[in-house]
Amino acid sequence: AHYRNVNLAANSYFVPESNSTRYLNYGAAVYPNSHVSQFSSNRIRLVSQVEVNVLTGETIILRADIVYDCGQSMNPAVDLGQIEGAFVQGLGFFMLEEYSFNSDGLMVADGTWTYKIPTIDTIPREFNVEILNSGHHQKRVLSSKACGEPPLFLAASVHCATRAAIKDARKQLKSWGGLEGAESTFQLDVPATMPVVKELCGSSKYRKDFKSGKGSVEKRVQRTKQGSQVQRHTE
């Protein structure tokens, strides 16, 4: 193909109407005379399970299951890599990569020692991805659908599962009389870093009681060992 000057790529390009919000709908309906649909709808299903250590704020992704609609995948191996890679990249955005600046406006997190990026430990311990071929699409390029960028936002499920685990931890701490106010009243910003998760779980309260020598500490430590130290949740 190279020596015969045969182009093996297929592509399309369009500019949406600037004075209309109709582009939010399906391209085939908005532009019925167009040969190629400008928009595609990816149907995706995802479940993530996380484990949160309430004393350290560490979040471990135990499992992630993804079913992703690729239209008709032209190369399943490439699409699988795109889906997995974008998901892990999204984990960095939702859980790790924090931009911190000093009073002069200079970025403090200027290296991997302070700016945390996804590593092999970030990947779900069990990671299942299934590509769903949803059939022929007349208005799509070779019936394909995008799989490079949309999977990044699937990592939001890990953030949601982490928030649910924090809520359970706060509820348990409140039942011990250690947390005032409603257990559901908190805000988990992006990224949900270890210090943030640790603070929202009420770790400071745990540690103060451990150091105070209160009579109820031994009971609380025992209950912590039985399960309150680790909160698991699926979202």
Asked if residue 51 belongs to a domain, the reply is yes
Asked if residue 119 belongs to a domain, the reply is yes
Structural domain span for residue 170? 42-205
Asked if residue 4 belongs to a domain, the reply is no
Asked if residue 129 belongs to a domain, the reply is yes
Asked if residue 74 belongs to a domain, the reply is yes
For residues 167-178, give the mean pLDDT.
Answer: 83
Q: In total, how many domains does the chain have?
A: 1
CA dist 181 and 80 (Å) reads 45
Which of the following is catalytic: 84, 149, 180, 235? 149
Instruction: Tell me the pLDDT tens digit for each residue of 92-115.
Output: 999 999 988 889 988 888 888 888
Position 123 scores a pLDDT of 95
Position 27 scores a pLDDT of 44
Position 194 scores a pLDDT of 94
Q: Catalytic: 84?
A: no
Task: List the CATH number of the domain containing 158.
Answer: 3.30.365.10
Position 224 scores a pLDDT of 39
CA dist 177 and 215 (Å) reads 14
DSSP state, 144?
Answer: B
Indicate the pLDDT class of residue 138, thresholds 50, 70 and 90. Answer: low
Give strand pairing partners of 53. 230
Chain centroid to CA 107: 24
Coil, helix or strand at residue 77: helix
Asked if residue 159 belongs to a domain, the reply is yes
CA dist 126 and 234 (Å) reads 13
CA dist 46 and 147 (Å) reads 14
Asked if residues 33 and 27 have their Cβ atoms less than 8 Å apart, the reply is no
All residues at 6 or more sequence positions from 193 whose CB lies less than 8 Å from its CB, including other chains:
57, 95, 96, 98, 116
Of 228, 235, 81, nearest in space to 161 by CA: 235
Asked if residue 53 belongs to a domain, the reply is yes
Average pLDDT, the chain: 79
* End-to-end Cα spacing for the chain: 47
Asked if residue 156 belongs to a domain, the reply is yes
Asked if residues 39 and 22 have their Cβ atoms less than 8 Å apart, the reply is no
Least confident of 9-18, 121-130, 153-162: 9-18
